[in-house]
Copies of this chain bind each other. A is one copy, B any other.
Amino acid sequence: MVIHCYENYPSFPVHLLAAEDPIRPGLYDALSKHAGFSPGEYEFYCSLLKKRIVRKKEHYLQAGDISRATAYVASGCLRQYIIDDHGKEIIIQFALEDWWIGDLESFHYEKPSLFYIQALEDSELMLLSRREFLRVCDELPKYKAFHDEKVQRNHFATLKRLSNAKLGTPEEKYLLLMKEQPQLFQRIPLHYIACFLGIEPESLSRLRKRLCEKPGKS
């Protein structure tokens, strides 16, 4: 099955690996288990995807641009952030393999995004353009239901993050992230984690040192 590449990007067509391919089982898993796709439907869906490689430090999205596609992270790691009026960056989310990333509001309403999305590692994204997204939703209503369920779960997670952002000490925020998303600490530089938590990098370093020194820590 051929996946086309986006304009302005290396235009080598790539072959999407079969469902049993260990490299990208997450997409097949999500669509077969959670959207109820048959192998044929999965193949149809994949035929509409385009691949985009985003090199480390390159931006996939800039504030002011319109997000033209939904993006499934096949490999790599990215951060989504906003810059305030004082030039300060705040990270809203990270995305690793098998996560989706993008600005859905910009995508759905075709309005300029407030967000930047930048690769922290060389990353491979599988993009579904708005036109193709609408086509899949039209031809396979279960994909629309899957998408809506995903948005809803994201919404619940964001509400919890809003609560966490307002509550708790830096230590509590750090420990919660360690518990809920430990994989981030293996991939993402600490100063980005600090930015995500809204803590100064130096404070995070001191906090980690203090926690390591705590008696009884295993």
Binding site for B on A (CB under 8 A): 82, 84-85, 88, 90, 92, 104-105, 108, 114, 148, 151-152, 154-156, 158-163, 165-168, 172, 198
Contacts and interface: CB of A to CB of B under 8 A. Distances in A.
A167 B84 contact: yes
Contacts of A168: 84-85
Contacts of A151: 148, 151-152, 155
Nearest to A141: B141
A82 B167 contact: yes
Given A90-B163, A92-B162, A114-B163, 16 more contacts: A84-B168, A85-B172, A88-B167, A104-B155, A108-B152, A148-B152, A151-B151, A151-B152, A154-B155, A155-B155, A155-B158, A158-B162, A161-B162, A162-B162, A162-B165, A166-B198
A188 to B, nearest CB: 17
A153 to B, nearest CB: 9
A167 B81 CA distance: 11
Number of this chain's copies in the complex: 2
The A interface, classified by DSSP as helix, strand, loop or mixed, is helix
A167 B84 CA distance: 7
A76 to B, nearest CB: 22
Nearest to A163: B82
B159 A92 contact: yes
A66 to B, nearest CB: 15
A90 B167 CA distance: 7
A163 to B, nearest CB: 5
Contacts of A84: 167-168
A169 to B, nearest CB: 9
A146 B168 CA distance: 35
A114 B156 CA distance: 11
Contacts of A158: 155, 158-159, 162
Nearest to A109: B156
